[in-house]
């Protein structure tokens, strides 16, 4: 058994960030571009998949709601089988493996079987996508903290909604697109104002990013009106107003530039 252990491979859990390949860490980029065997999720963007080596074996193990996809036990079996065959697996996940990425589950499962696991952190979607949308997660006078919440659960969401609604922090909901009615009802009944700014960030940190802003009691209406599709984050909190200010300032700057250009082309008068 001791001699057999020398042939066990290892698994590298790579956080690929929220979509933009330039947001990959140097370590993640090196692991991906030098990999020989890659298992990847559906939230790994096309631009990052384009970096996969041409000669690498690639296996898609993404999970998508409402579609036939690999289950977590299936993924665990594939990872373990490859590692026990002596292969070095590069397990690529969108965002960060340890933020709603089930990286901890995979790491523990592999470690229990004697498989070496390396972890490379990535920029989680909440941080990357809000930054690209000009929404700071914290801002003096508006939010002194932030909370990341998954709106998806195998059985029932075990959340103290009253406490969450009264945190006066930025709330970022992952996987909450189908739960907008519930989010509105729970937060408002917990004491949060209906006027609290909210934002949808769809396909964040990609060329297809869309940001739509409104109020808490408009959450479902915004989703329907703009036909928001997954993947999308929901941001709730006063910091969303910063993005609105940035939009106004951008329009003002463009107006000023146009006025300056008009003055420059005016003909000189005698």
Contacts of 173 (CB under 8 A, 6+ apart): 149, 150, 151, 179, 183, 233, 234, 235, 236
- Asked about 41 being catalytic, the answer comes back as yes
Q: Which of 41, 96, 179, 223 is catalytic?
A: 41
Provide CATH code, domain 126-246: 3.30.950.10
Closest CA to 75 of 59, 87, 64, 88: 59
Output the six-digit token pair for 259: 């006025």
Domain 2-123 top-level CATH class: alpha beta
Look up 63 and say whether it is catalytic: yes
Nearest to 219 by CA among 246, 250, 204, 197: 197
Per-residue model confidence as pLDDT tens digits over 243-255: 988 877 777 666 5
pLDDT digits (tens, 9 = 90+) for 38-85: 999 999 999 999 999 999 999 999 876 656 578 999 999 999 999 999
Interval 251-269: pLDDT, tens: 766 655 565 555 555 555 5
Residue 42 CB burial class (10 angstroms; 0-12, 13-18, ≥19): middle
Output the pLDDT for position 251.
Answer: 72
Asked if 171 and 149 touch (Cβ cutoff 8 Å), the reply is: yes
| In the predicted structure, residue 122 carries a pLDDT above the cut 80 | yes
Token pair in block for residue 8: 């066990």
CA distance linking residue 25 with residue 15, whole number of Å: 9
The C-alpha atoms of residue 225 and residue 230 are separated, in whole angstroms, by: 15
What are 132-191's pLDDT values in tens digits? 999 999 999 999 999 999 987 766 778 999 999 999 899 999 999 999 999 999 999 999
Domain residue spans in the chain?
A: 2-123, 126-246
Active-site residue (options: 63, 118, 186, 217): 63
């Amino acid at each position: 058994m001791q001699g057999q252990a020398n042939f066990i491979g290892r698994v590298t859990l790579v956080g690929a960030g929220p979509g933009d390949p330039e947001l990959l860490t140097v370590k993640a980029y090196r692991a991906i571009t030098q990999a020989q065997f890659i298992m990847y999720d559906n939230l790994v963007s096309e631009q990052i998949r384009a970096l996969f080596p041409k000669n690498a074996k690639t296996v898609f193990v993404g999970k998508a709601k409402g579609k036939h996809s690999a289950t977590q036990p299936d993924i665990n079996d594939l990872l373990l089988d490859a590692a026990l065959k002596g292969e070095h697996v590069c397990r690529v996940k969108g965002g960060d493996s340890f933020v709603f990425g089930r990286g901890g589950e995979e790491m523990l499962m592999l470690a229990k079987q004697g498989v070496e696991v390396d972890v490379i952190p990535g920029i989680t979607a909440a941080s990357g996508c809000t930054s690209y949308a000009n929404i700071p997660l914290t801002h003096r006078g508006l939010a002194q903290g932030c909370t990341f919440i998954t709106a998806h659960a195998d059985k029932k969401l075990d959340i103290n909604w009253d406490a969450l609604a009264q945190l006066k922090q930025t709330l970022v909901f992952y996987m909450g697109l189908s739960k907008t009615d519930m989010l509105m009802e729970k937060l408002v009944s917990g004491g949060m104002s209906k006027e609290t700014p909210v934002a949808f960030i769809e396909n964040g940190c990609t060329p297809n990013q869309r940001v739509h802003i409104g109020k808490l009691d408009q959450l479902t209406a915004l989703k329907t009106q703009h036909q928001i599709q997954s993947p999308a984050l929901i941001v709730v909190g006063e910091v969303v107003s910063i993005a609105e200010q940035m939009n106004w300032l951008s329009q003002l700057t463009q107006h000023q530039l146009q006025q300056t250009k008009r003055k420059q082309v005016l003909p000189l008068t005698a």
